[in-house]
Structure 1
Amino acid sequence: MRCPGRCLVPLVLLAAPAMAGDFDPGPLDLAALIECRVDVPSYNGFAVWLAGEPSVADTLGWKEVPSGNPFLRQYSLPAPVHVFGRETGAIVFTATGPMAVLDGIAAPDLARQLDVPATVSTPGKFLGEKVVAENTEQAGGVSLVTRVTLNVSTVESHPGKALAGCSYALDVK
């Protein structure tokens, strides 16, 4: 069977219960996850743990709150996290990583400060991405491509706010 795109995802989901039990949230550095200062396997271990059971976020003191967006899972933090020279008490998770929800700065201005080039910049939408790390490894006749990008964006569900964070992707080709 030929496996286009993200074939590893089903394998990761099958392994989720076992991997979730192995993750230790004690040394978790949320700012490092958001600012792209960890590698893909480290993020994936955390993400599998977080998705493993509905109550695991409670162990961190996080409270899930409605995001108003079906593609974002939002949490209120017990204490602000300091990222990109700012602080926030709210984070969201996309399908590929965590983002800080930031007040007081427009997304284009934050992107300029972080040297993140715009891919979409209109009055109603901003999206910027900068590749932080990219690696391809050959294993068993397939290519494993890891890609870490720093992203800055706006979304309709969070008017007046800038979202900034990291995307951790693993593709099997």
Structure 2
Amino acid sequence: MLTPDNTLLLVVDIQERLLPVLHQNTEFTAASRRMIEGANILDVAIAITEQYPKGLGATLPEIITLIPDAPIFAKIRFSAWIDDIHAIVRTRQPENIILIGCETHICVLQTALDMRDAGLNVYVPQECVTSRAIENKINGLEQMRAAGAIISNIESLLFMLMQDAKHPHFKEISQLIQ
């Protein structure tokens, strides 16, 4: 069961120089922002990775402004399952990871596979991942699903995190997803 206390949202490589070449990048960015806003409202822990920031730039400013205090970890490995993320998982001990970011069939896929191998439950809101080609996104999602990741959507995940319409942030989350 997803709860804010047992879940970590991992923002994978949503970077300045990568975004322009990605499929439906405007819709993807808006969806990722909604997921992050919902996670903030529900007080879900958030961490960020950046793939080779010297070459691909920093995380998008419109993402950073939502989570200015989230730790950011540079990586050259495609998978975001790096030592710094291991340390967060060891410290916080989440059972569930919500993955959003770029590219679905490379970094997000390899992260999901590594995290599943580590025994974590992985959730991927399908509108919060993208690739340069839609076919690669679809293929990446299919591979994650086959490996046991739950392919979901923003609304489902936020409502899973709340569990009940009596949740104190129900109205705020409901307005966010409209």
If the TM-score is normalised by the length of the shorter chain, which range does it land in? under 0.3
Higher relative contact order, structure no. (Cα contacts within 8 Å, ≥ 6 residues apart): 2
Which of these two proteins has the greater Rg computed from alpha carbons?
1
Normalising by structure 1, we get a TM-score of: 0.27
Q: TM-score of the superposition, structure 2-length normalised? A: 0.27
Higher strand share: 1
Say which structure is richer in helix: 2
